[in-house]
């Protein structure tokens, strides 16, 4: 019986959110199509903790265990190249590797929330053989790595339409993703929807809220029970959620900070108009949405929703697909095959 080929690349997958898990799976697929043998070393989710500092420590320890176990499985063979998915996964690494990240603790862990993470993150980024940010904006404030591969390679997450275009009528007015509802500004979205509903009394349009249950929202201080035109769906499987995007006219959000905006890019890929506030952070979807229709981006979320629902631009979806070309699986595969793999295996 032929011996299984050892992995050439191990992705240490933090996987603390659905978006991170999708990003790691997409990268693994691209590396495999480029000819590499790849394994995902998945961190086991720790129990919930009270503070961000403790939460990051627990996840960093879980990622270290996953990396140590992966390296042990390949003991005696050529050591695989390592990619740590997020800077948190790299904080307690057993061995240096490339670091892929959507944002830095230096940016999204201000004050006491990142007291120990920020200095250790800078040290790890300097020690890394390569940095693999999801976007140019994610690099802001990062030190230069000193490894032999050198420098940084911007490596976006591949985003594709979830199905072929359809002539089916879009029968859902608006949808939002409420995983981490406070950070995503669900309270602002709901306030805008209530204002729009009050102004358009005859409309039966609904706002669908995916990613969290009513109980989870209530624990975050957000009540939806009294909103007749708001339907909370809870957590959905990826296929079920993307099917709703294909039926929705608008994806609406008001993030207080956006580290990338994968949900927004997926919504654009599935034909939604993107209505959003101009959040700080390396928000990759924001310049795309602003170019597509600047009326839909800004602080007047209710006005932007009204514009998208009642006066949509006829070619919005076609132009969105063209704008997403650099994020296509084909484009990312080309980047991985022509640049990333040589750096990892040098």
Say whether domain 9-158+328-345 belongs to CATH 3.40.50.1110.
Answer: no
pLDDT at residue 312 tops 60: yes
Buried b (16+ CB within 10 A) or exposed e, 46-83: eeeeeebbebbbbbbebbbbbbbebbeeeeeeeebbbb
Domain limits, the chain: 9-158+328-345, 172-326
Confidence band for 1, pLDDT divided at 50, 70 and 90: very low
Confidence band for 57, pLDDT divided at 50, 70 and 90: very high
Q: What is the pLDDT of residue 150?
A: 54
- Sheet containing strand 248-253, edge to edge, reads 230-234, 207-210, 172-177, 248-253, 273-276
Q: What is the pLDDT of residue 141?
A: 82
How far, in Å, CA of 173 to CA of 248, rounded?
Answer: 6
Instruction: Tell how far CA 19 is from the center of its chain.
Output: 4
Q: What is the mean pLDDT of residues 264-287?
A: 97
pLDDT at residue 306 tops 50: yes
Tokens of residue 1, six digits = 């019986």
Residue whose C-alpha is closest to residue 258's, from 116, 134, 108: 108
Contact between 75 and 109 (Cβ < 8 Å)? no
Domains 9-158+328-345 and 172-326 belong to one CATH topology: yes
The distance between the two most distant Cα atoms of the chain, rounded to a whole number of Å, is 71
The DSSP code sequence of 302-331 is HHHHHHHHHS--TTHHHHHHHHTGGGSHHH
Instruction: Tell how far CA 320 is from the center of its chain.
Output: 18
Contact between 326 and 157 (Cβ < 8 Å)? no
Q: What is the mean pLDDT of residues 272-296?
A: 97
May I ask the CATH architecture of the domain 172-326?
3-Layer(aba) Sandwich (3.40)
Q: What is the pLDDT of residue 146?
A: 54
Q: What is the pLDDT of residue 166?
A: 74
Query: What angle separates helix 285-292 from helix 262-269, to the nearest 10 degrees?
Result: 40
Structure-token match 């029970």, residue found: 225
How far, in Å, CA of 49 to CA of 60, rounded?
Answer: 13
Q: Which helix (H) or strand (E) holds 132?
A: strand 131-133
Tokens of residue 133, six digits = 């940010």
Ranges of H-type helices in the chain:
18-33, 52-73, 87-90, 105-108, 117-127, 186-199, 214-219, 238-247, 262-269, 285-292, 301-310, 316-323, 329-335, 341-345
How far, in Å, CA of 143 to CA of 121, rounded?
Answer: 10
Confidence band for 323, pLDDT divided at 50, 70 and 90: very high
Specify the pTM. Answer: 0.92
* Phi, psi of 182, deg, nearest 5: -70, -50
Q: What is the pLDDT of residues 119-164, one digit of tens each?
A: 999 999 999 999 999 999 999 888 876 554 457 999 999 999 999 8
Contact between 9 and 97 (Cβ < 8 Å)? no
């Amino acid at each position: 019986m032929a011996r299984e080929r050892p992995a050439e690349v191990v992705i240490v997958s933090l996987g603390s959110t659905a978006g991170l898990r999708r990003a790691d799976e997409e990268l693994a697929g691209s590396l495999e199509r480029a000819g590499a043998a790849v394994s995902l070393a998945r961190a086991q989710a720790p129990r919930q903790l009270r503070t961000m500092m403790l939460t990051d420590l627990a996840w960093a320890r879980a990622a270290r265990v996953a990396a140590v176990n992966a390296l042990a499985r390949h003991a005696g063979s050529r050591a695989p190249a390592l990619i740590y998915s997020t800077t948190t996964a790299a904080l307690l690494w057993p061995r240096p590797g490339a670091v892929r990240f959507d944002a830095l603790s230096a940016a999204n862990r201000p004050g006491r929330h990142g007291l120990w993470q920020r200095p250790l993150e800078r040290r790890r980024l300097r020690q890394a053989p390569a940095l693999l940010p999801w976007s140019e904006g994610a690099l802001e404030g990062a030190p230069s790595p000193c490894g032999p591969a050198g420098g940084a390679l911007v490596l976006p997450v591949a985003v594709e339409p979830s199905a072929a275009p359809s002539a089916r009528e879009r029968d859902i007015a608006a949808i939002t993703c409420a995983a981490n509802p406070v950070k995503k500004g669900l309270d602002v979205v709901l306030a805008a929807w209530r204002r729009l509903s009050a102004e358009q009394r005859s409309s039966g349009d609904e706002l669908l809220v995916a990613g969290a249950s009513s109980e989870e929202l209530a624990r975050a201080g957000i009540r939806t029970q009294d909103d007749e035109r708001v339907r909370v769906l809870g957590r959905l499987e990826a296929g079920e959620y993307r099917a709703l995007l294909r039926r929705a006219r608008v994806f609406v959000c008001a993030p207080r900070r956006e580290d990338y905006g994968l949900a927004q890019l997926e919504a654009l890929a599935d034909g939604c108009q993107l209505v959003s506030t101009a959040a700080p952070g390396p928000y990759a979807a924001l310049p795309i949405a602003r170019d597509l229709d600047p009326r839909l981006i800004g602080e007047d979320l209710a006005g932007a929703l009204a514009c998208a629902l009642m006066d949509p631009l006829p070619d919005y979806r076609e132009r969105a697909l063209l704008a997403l070309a650099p994020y296509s699986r084909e484009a990312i595969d080309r980047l991985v095959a022509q640049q990333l793999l040589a750096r990892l295996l040098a």
